[in-house]
Amino acid sequence: MPGLDKLLRGVLKYRATLRPKMVKDFQRIRDNPEPKAVMVSCIDSRIIMTRLLQSSVGDMLLVRNAGNVVPHSDTLRENGVSTEAAALELGCVVNNIRHVVVCGHSDCKAMTGLFAMRDTVEETGGSPLTQWVKTHGLATVRKYRELEAAGGVGPITFEAESTNRRFTAFIDKENQFAPVDKFSQVNTLQQLENIVSHEFIQERVVSDKVRLSAMWFDIYTGDFYMFSRERETFVEVTNSNYAHLVADAECW
C-alpha cells in the first residue's frame, strides 16, 4: 500500500544524516533532561511544531490532539482521565517545567467542524471526532457567543486561577481573519482557562512556578502570533515584538 514507503525512506535518510548527532544528544540529556515547555498543539499534519520552533532534543514535551484542546477538569469528573492532564502532570510536576504553551492555527479542520456545529453543540452523540470537539469545545462555543455579543471583536474575559489574574482579549481587531480563524483564536485562549481548572496546575500558577501562554500560527502566511496580556490581543512574533512578548509572558 503506498504511503508507508515515504515513512521508511525517512528512516533511511535519518540513519544516513541526523542519527549520529541525535544519538549523542539523547545520551547528553539522559540523566539531566531540562525541557523548557509543555506544548499543546493540533494533530494537523501541517503543524510540524518541532520544525516550526526549531526545537532540539529535550526542548519540550509535545501533546497533540484534534483542535489543540485541554479537557476542563469538570469534563473529567464525568469522563475519567485525559492524556492532556497526565501530560501536564508529567511536565510541570515530574519535570518541573515552567511554561505551558497552547498553539492553535488557521484553517483548523477540528475547529471548522466545531464551528459548523456550534448551534447544536449542546446535543450529545455523534462520531468520535464529533463527540471530542463538542465535549471539549463547548466552552469555546460559549466564549465565541460572548465575542459575537460584544460586536465580534470583544472584549471578552477569560477566567484564570484567581480573580485578579483573569485576562481580557480582543480578537482580530484588524479584521484580517475568517470567522472560523477568529473562533480558533478564541479556542486557543479558552484552553488557558481549562488548564488552570486542574488544581495541581492552578497551585503552580498561583505560586509562579508555572506560566501559561497562547500562540497561534497562520498557515498560509507562515506567521506566528503570541497572546499579549498587556496588549490584550495576539501579537505577531517578530524581532521588534520579541522583547515585549518575553516580558509579557513573565509578568502575570
Query: What's the min distance (Å) between Cβ of 86 and Zn ion?
Result: 21
Measuring CA to CA, which residue among 118, 108, 20 is closest to residue 66? 108
Q: How many whole angstroms separate alpha carbon 160 and alpha carbon 227?
A: 15
Q: Is 144 exposed, middle or buried (0-12, 13-18, 19+ CB in 10 A)?
A: buried
Stretch touching Zn ion by CB under 5 A, among 49-57, 77-85, 110-118, 221-229: 110-118
> For Zn ion, which stretch binds (CB under 5 A), given 8-16, 74-82, 105-113, 229-237?
105-113
For position 108 contacting Zn ion by CB under 5 A, the verdict is yes
DSSP state of 30: S
Annotated binding site for Zn(2+): 42, 44, 105, 108
Pairing between strand 37-42 and 233-236?
unpaired
Part in contact with Zn ion (CB under 5 A); list of ranges 56-64, 100-108, 173-181, 225-233: 100-108
Q: How far is the CB of 51 from Zn ion (least distance, A)?
A: 16
Start-end of H helices in 150-238 = 179-196, 199-206
Burial (CB count within 10 angstroms: exposed 0-12, middle 13-18, buried 19+), residue 136? buried
CB of 23 to Zn ion, least distance (A): 32
Which CB sits closer to Zn ion, 43 or 247? Answer: 43
Judged by beta carbon, residue 105 or residue 198, the one nearer Zn ion is 105
| DSSP 8-class letter at 119 | G
Contact with Zn ion (CB under 5 A): which of 39, 40, 44, 87? 44
Considering only residues 38, 42, 195, 226, which one is a binding residue for Zn ion as defined by CB under 5 A?
42
Name the residues that contact Zn ion, by CB under 5 A.
Answer: 42, 44, 108, 110
